[in-house]
Amino acid sequence: MSAETLSGRPLRLLRMLYANGKSEKSYSINVKQSELAKQLDISRQALSSHLRKLRRNGCIRTGRGFIDITEKGLAVLGASTNPVFVFIKVSSIKQDKVYQKLQEFPIQQIFRVKGDMDAVLIVALEKLDETLKKLGSIEGIEKTKSYMAIEALK
């Protein structure tokens, strides 16, 4: 399943759950379905139908008072519970242009950092090759280092 086969409100719902969830081994959100329906401006019955579709496709697990986004759901969103961290060294005179270009990347998060590197990108493993190719085409990036997470310890 890909983002193309999931569209409309079910995809919007999955994105909202991801944005409001917290990362454990999956993304979890503790919320009443009536509250979700209100946030999406749809009826409780319509929400139930969308959740059923997401469950049937293996994108979420639900229980009393919680919804978990599964690895499959995270993959649809281009995210992962085991991300890759890409550290970037940027030429000081090109920093503004580089940071602006990084905003267009298919990444989960970007951090400016202090130390021997200037930025850290959090990237889904599936997007790593694409990200590294794009980084290679940006003038001002002097060096990159990539580290893949094996498991979250907390």
Residues 74-118 pLDDT 10s: 778 867 667 899 999 999 899 999 999 988 887 778 999 999 999
User: Do residues 30 and 22 make contact, with C-beta atoms less than 8 angstroms apart?
Assistant: no
DSSP codes of every residue in 100-138: HHHTTSS-SEEEE--SS-SEEEEE-GGGHHHHHHHHHTS
Could you tell me if 123 and 70 lie in one domain? no
Where residue 24 sits, what CATH number does that domain have? 1.10.10.10
Could you tell me if 22 and 39 lie in one domain? yes
Q: Which two tokens stand for residue 34?
A: 């009536």
In the listed set 76, 111, 132, which residue is the last one of a domain according to the structure? 76
Q: Which two tokens stand for residue 104?
A: 């267009």
> What average pLDDT does range 116-121 have in this prediction?
94
User: Interior CA angle at 75 toward 71 and 80, to 5°?
Assistant: 65
For 65, the domain range is: 8-76
Q: Which two tokens stand for residue 137?
A: 């085409």
In the listed set 51, 76, 101, which residue is the last one of a domain according to the structure? 76
Render pLDDT for 138-150 as a digit per residue (tens, 0 to 9).
Answer: 999 999 999 998 8
Structure confidence at residue 19 as a pLDDT band (50, 70, 90):
confident
Mean confidence (pLDDT) of the chain = 85
Whether residue 29 is contained in a domain is answered as yes
pTM: 0.56
